[in-house]
Amino acid sequence: MTDMSTTTQAEELAQEAHDSHSADHSDKTVLFGTTINAPVYTVVFGALGALTLFELLIAELFPRNFLTTGLLVIASIIKAVLVVLFYMHLKDDNPLYALALVVPLGIGLIAAFFLLAVPVTGY
């Protein structure tokens, strides 16, 4: 009985993995209704490069202020999300894995805000 359930679970996992990754194996990517003759990983790489160029232009051409800083942070978050979803396959994997990134990040940010609240006293 145990052997059978283990085997069934393994088959389900294998089937899920096959189904979820089949789109990643295609040589074509459909983006906003347009078919691109490149695997999805290459399209994501193009997006990462474009976003990095965007960041460089913002950083080099405009002075630092609330708006430009916000744009830079948003661009970096989009890049990170693209890598996590497509390259680390989180879009197909168990969503609980996302907690491994979100929970420690949340704790770290709370710590950072706490540090910001502490006045600088020197060393």
Partner 1 sequence: MAAIEHQVEHEHGHASPAVRLENLKFATWLYLASEVVIFTVLIATYVVFSLNNREVVHEVHEKSGIVLVALNTFILLSSSWAMVMGLRQLKLGNRQGLITWIGRTALLGTVFVALQYVEYRTLSDAGVVLFYTGGELSEFGMRFYAPTAFHGAHVIVGVLWALFIIWNARRGNYSAENYAGVEVFGLYWHFVDVVWIFLFTFIYLI
Q: Which is nearer to partner 1, 33 or 88 (CB)?
A: 88
Q: Which is nearer to partner 1, 34 or 118 (CB)?
A: 118
CA distance 113 to 71: 20
Note whether 8 binds partner 1 by CB under 8 A: no
23-62 positions binding partner 1, by CB under 8 A: 24-25, 39, 41-42, 44-45, 48-49, 52, 55-56, 58-60
Note whether 79 binds partner 1 by CB under 8 A: yes
Tokens of 57: 């232009």
Nearest to 85 by CA among 38, 30, 47, 35: 47
Least distance in Å: CB of 70 to partner 1?
A: 10
CA distance 53 to 47: 10
Note whether 72 binds partner 1 by CB under 8 A: yes
CA distance 47 to 44: 5
CA–CA distances in Å: residue 122 to residues 18, 72, 74, 118: 57, 30, 32, 11
CB atoms within 10 A of CB 86: 19
Residues that bind partner 1 in the complex, under the rule CB under 8 A: 2-3, 6-7, 9-11, 13-14, 17, 21, 24-25, 39, 41-42, 44-45, 48-49, 52, 55-56, 58-60, 64, 69, 72-73, 75-76, 79-80, 83-84, 86-89, 93-94, 97, 99-101, 103-105, 107-109, 111-112, 115-116, 120
